[in-house]
Chain A
Amino acid sequence: MAAYIIRRLLGMIPTLFVITVIVFLLMHAMPGNAFEALVFNPKIKNAAEVYKRLVAENGLNQSLPVQYIHWINNLIHGNLGISSSLNMPVSEAIGTYLPNTLILAITAEIIILVISLPIGLYQANKVNGKLDVSTSFVAIFLYSIPGFVFALVLIFLFSFLEKWLPSSGTVTPGIATSGSLGDRLTHLILPALSLALPSMAYYTRLTRSNTLSVIVADFVRTARAKGLRRPRVMFRHVLRNAIIPIVTQFGFDIGGLFGGAVLIEQIFTWPGMGELSFNATINRDYPLILGTTLLFAVMVLIGNLIADILLAISDPRVRYD
């Protein structure tokens, strides 16, 4: 297992290389750079000179291949460069913003699983019953709505009409309980729900359809022929098999959830990776763009690896090698 994981991690390197090259090229294809705005700032007298100096200092006057090799060389030495817009090392910036996104994404994943699995399982057990049909309708409805719409609706309902939950930031500044667990949780609810809702609908459908396809399997009939009681048949025999594609999908979606967080974080001014990469792009902060993109790519690849590991754990027929 360990050898397998190491091999897979090494296998990511070529993919990451290609991704960084593409991002590097696209990034430089965007008009402008981090310092161009200075030229138009009337308060800076010798703007043209300052601009020239900064460009030279940051190596932007060199050819693209040279710049790229420079970046890669630093990366190999564990150095992601200095963010020009934040004036701090990129790694430090990521270190401050990443935990917030992780909290948001993990909370969303928990909400997704805790709510979708039981609903999907229930639906499959009462297939075509009133509750199945109505919840299926709701699920398809929710699935077809993008997450940011939920975000706006949730803010409207719970922050604007009813002032129950805050709609921005991670803590309430300037109150005694600021930063307490409760304070943090209330800030977490709306963004996490917005991120979770579309996937919840999807996972409910996935659980329902997988369960339905397993329920008719021969081995379920065997389990019943053994006289096992219904809950045992459902959980040990049906769910145990139906969950295999679900956990796999779950791993694949980890990276997607990170991407989905970009927009949600903007709406809720949640200081996470989404905010960071968005601002990096607006400010043409090349080192920060590369750093955050690299991280998103790593997340997707790690998600895929987690998917494969979960599959191997949950299905004894799968081998690593």
Chain B
Amino acid sequence: MSEPLLKVSNLKTYFISKYRTVKAVDGVDFEVQKGKVLGIVGESGSGKSMTSLSIMGLIPPPYGKIVEGEIRFEGVDLSKLSEKKMNDVRGNRISMIFQEPMSALNPVLKIGEQIDEVLIRHKRLSKSEARRKSIQLLQSVGFPRAEQIVNEYPHQLSGGMRQRAMIAMAMACEPSILIADEPTTALDVTIQAQVLDLMRDLKEHTGTAIVLITHDLGVVADMADDMIVMYGGQVVESGTADDIFNTPLHPYTNALMESIPVIDEERERLTAIPGTVPSAANFPQGCRFAERCAIAQASCHEKMPELRELQPGHLVRCDLA
């Protein structure tokens, strides 16, 4: 396999205050390959957003901090980059879109102004050049009347339109990686499919790699080349999407797959995983999933399992697998 585009090694992002330490991301490793889609799945609180914000250097101050690890991108470790240099990467080489397209857009600025400013910042375009390019970008994400949309405010657009405008903004500088943190969660089902299709098209055309964070395994199955499953701030399973869907190795991955609602002619079944995610402020010393695991043994509660490569490229953090 060729050199990965982005390589995250042993990333630890903690929120450290006087009273407690929240281990939001606790030793995460993964790679993003050029032009491929990496899916990140896991329940709420498993550290997906904090992982992506760590890459962007946008961990909320003052408590959040990357305490260890490396984020290697185009030959440099982003976690050690100065704010000034990181600003040249953000929105330019790596960009990000968020779950809530309503609150993620500035309510008092026109859509056009919000796209223009990325182009002016990174591509040094003049105002009128940027505007022309913004209109093109909006057309490329499927706005037929882009000339009007640039003069509209976010509240004048529907949820799906806003998310497409966000995508246009994120793709403005043709980044090599687009991080999408639950880009469709807030949207209607039909709109979800449209937005995902759009992202897939853009990827084909531009060769931008996508890190796609989602709760929805169906979306991963549909879109991802590679995937990681996160639990309690750690990667519990990683590999190609095909391998993981065909032979899930971790009990948690198995449980997740079973919790996909299966709709057949007669019944609709949804098995939620019993129990709750352990608090990131107070992880158990052993396997973090042991408490909810159907096959856990006494040893699981004592020793934290290592991430092992069971098959080539297919890693799992479970001693029983």
Contacts and interface: CB of A to CB of B under 8 A. Distances in A.
User: Which of A219, A228, A240 counts the most chain B CB atoms within 10 A?
Assistant: A219
Contacts of B88: 227
Contacts of B109: 236-237, 240
A216 B166 CA distance: 19
A314 B108 contact: yes
B95 interface: yes
A316 B100 CA distance: 20
B294 interface: no
A163 interface: no
Nearest to A244: B108
Residues of A in contact with B, size category = 20 to 34
Contact of A219 (B90, B106, B122): B106
Contacts of A241: 106-108
A199 to B, nearest CB: 25
Interface string B85-129: 001111110011010100111111100000001100110000000
A218 B92 CA distance: 19
A229 interface: yes
Nearest to A226: B91
Interface in A252-273: none
A76 interface: no
Contact of A229 (B87, B95, B98): B87
B153 interface: yes
A40 B53 CA distance: 85
Interface in B133-160: 153, 155
A244 B107 CA distance: 12
B58 interface: yes
B90 A218 contact: no
Given A219-B107, A222-B104, A316-B153, A227 B96 contact: no
B227 interface: no
Given A315-B108, A316-B108, A316-B155, A224 B58 contact: yes
Contacts of A225: 56, 58, 90-91, 95-96
A28 interface: no
Nearest to B99: A218
Interface string A186-214: 00000000000000000000000000000
A187 B286 CA distance: 76
A227 B100 contact: no
A226 B155 contact: no
B199 interface: no
Contacts of A221: 58, 98, 104
Contacts of B98: 218, 221-222
Interface string A290-321: 00000000000000000000000011110000
B25 interface: no
A232 interface: yes
B118 A226 contact: yes
A317 B107 contact: yes
B95 A226 contact: yes
6 contacts: A218-B100, A219-B106, A221-B58, A226-B91, A227-B89, A227-B92
Instruction: Give the top 5 A-B pairs by smallest Cβ distance, nearest first.
Output: A227-B91, A226-B91, A227-B90, A218-B103, A219-B106
Given A223-B106, A236-B117, A237-B109, 6 more contacts: A217-B103, A225-B56, A232-B121, A241-B107, A317-B107, A317-B153
